[in-house]
Structure 1
């Protein structure tokens, strides 16, 4: 999300299945010996071990439609306050508690220790999760550099592409990576500049990791200049999945869905709700940016209605809540926050909500 909106979120049969999975799940950067050992109860279904692919406006795994819900978290690599961070043993606990077959969107910003990322990929694979991996942040959060038109025009060919070329090929055979995201919430004053960046940088990722998809990471159409501009950038061959971010405090899909969905359908690509969130706090908590602050219980109800509305749209491939953090970041006495934690009813709802899968 933008810096202004962020409130810094089954024994022999089983063994045989695991051996079968291992026979076709190609190794990623880690060897099997390096990864955390997968217990039977954590084994991902075999249908989840193929790569996530695109078939028109739907995502597929091994030929079957794949839809998902899950979370954003930017605190796996030290980007949050200490009480928010998910690290060490907490990382495995985080992935083990998520909905099977879900997705986590995380920020792998320039300079992140890839040994740390290896551990995260290992835990995600062990527990049947997929990852959307953001490679840089437009807003320059967590030590990254803020981006401007000059970056998208030519500057990305320096340190940014060096980072992409260092990271992406190391995981090219890792099906745990659902997709790469070139940039969190990119924007330019001229949509043709962003389109050219998507064409080139997305092309680099496709060359380095041909099994992986690329998401646009975009906000709403109006942040790029409107529906026509949003369509122009979504047409890029460097992009496979169209992204929408929204934080509307309503119990329904955002009004931004219609123009984003129109663009995605026009370019025959899936649409992903890459970020969505609702503020909550304890009684008396201050509102943020004049945005409605729900009680934790009311937020879970509103969020369920909103998520159901999105899942009722077959072209919406998935939705990722912003954001999951360690329990120390639970809503407090004074501050309203988007964050959710393990004991939040919203987290339970996202784990259990039915996901319609169109034929």
Structure 2
């Protein structure tokens, strides 16, 4: 750990701790809280500065359209903090996201890196990354100037006192598998026998470093939760026992209108049970359903309302929908959630 790139924002004092986690779920200001919100991965896109990740978003319009105390999960990848022209760090686009969220009294979950490295450095994270390579610099012009370890230190140190940050997420959809072809297709990857141990050690080590910088903010593990390498079956609970995993996740696609999808080993009902076993809340951090040319927005809203209502009753800790975009494609079959989608009414009605 070098820390040589760290340029923290100076704050008068640590932020007030508002978000808590316990076996009963999430709390806000000491009161039970079942947050809703959206994934809005594009928020830090600024074509004048970075290579971006999708379209640019009017940040004030977006955060102002959400129900009070909503949560937005967004890409806070290193590549979005690198100036594509100079190759130097440029925090402006990401600073703007936190500033806008704070102006509108909303919450965020910054995801510091993706498993597939889309919109980041472009390199799939295999087993070796989780054991050692997360500490190794992978210099890519316009996209990466430091290792993930240094990026984590830089990002957390800079934004640890931002009032909007509800939780940090180290890696979105972590999976310490091995690629067997150049494309690293999911159906050809292999899963080493020690994958759960590798992932647990990563959370123990990287999580401890994050918490040393920011002891006041929760850490969420961005699991898919459906039986992926390292978190299949009982391994999900083993990895979640890490002292540096405060909030578990499950990502829900398919099974339209079904609150508790999946089988007895890797389904959502099993994940809720495992979360209870480790006395930690489980956030359904991605819920997506195709609409547009393949289904009406109204039908999707009804299906997702049914799904989320059942999940809330079953003991989940909140729900974030996939995914807000400023430029939805109504004539295509997509999971786009545009600015006037009826799903905004759904998350407002379910929020607490």
Confirm whether residue 193 of structure 1 aligns to residue 192 of structure 2.
no
TM-superposition CA deviations, 1:318-357 (whole Å, max 9, x none): 110010000x22322xx2101110111122322x31346x
Task: Report the TM-score, using the length of structure 1 for normalisation.
Answer: 0.77
Partner Cα separation in structure 2 for residue 265 and residue 83 of structure 1: 36
Partner Cα separation in structure 1 for residue 45 and residue 343 of structure 2: 24
Shift in CA distance, 122/148, structure 1 to aligned 2, threshold 3 Å? same
Partner Cα separation in structure 1 for residue 273 and residue 26 of structure 2: 17
Partner Cα separation in structure 2 for residue 83 and residue 268 of structure 1: 36
Shift in CA distance, 111/82, structure 1 to aligned 2, threshold 3 Å? closer
Partner SS state of residue 223, structure 1 = coil
Partner SS state of residue 227, structure 2 = helix
For structure 2, the 5+ residue unaligned runs are: 1-7, 82-90, 137-146, 177-190
Contact 1:105 1:134 in 2 (8 A): yes
Contact 1:51 1:176 in 2 (8 A): no
Contact 1:57 1:271 in 2 (8 A): no
TM-superposition CA deviations, 1:157-203 (whole Å, max 9, x none): 22010100111012222231000001000012311101110111111
4+ residue segments displaced more than 6 Å: 79-83
Shift of 1:78: 2.6
User: Map of 1:215-230 to 2, 5 A cutoff?
Assistant: 215-224=220-229, 226-230=232-236
Partner Cα separation in structure 2 for residue 202 and residue 31 of structure 1: 23
How many residues are treated as equivalent by the alignment? 297
Shift of 1:252: 2.3
Contact 1:77 1:116 in 2 (8 A): yes
Confirm whether residue 261 of structure 1 aligns to residue 258 of structure 2.
no
Candidates 136, 139, 144, aligned match of 2:116: 139
Higher helix proportion, which one?
Answer: 1
TM-superposition CA deviations, 1:177-231 (whole Å, max 9, x none): 0000010000123111011101111111111111101110000241135221111
Task: Report the TM-score, using the length of structure 2 for normalisation.
Answer: 0.79
For structure 1, the 5+ residue unaligned runs are: 1-27, 33-47, 283-292
Shift in CA distance, 57/207, structure 1 to aligned 2, threshold 3 Å? farther
Partner Cα separation in structure 2 for residue 78 and residue 220 of structure 1: 28
User: Map of 1:266-305 to 2, 5 A cutoff?
Assistant: 266-282=277-293, 293-305=294-306
Confirm whether residue 240 of structure 1 aligns to residue 238 of structure 2.
no
> Partner of 2:127 in structure 1?
149
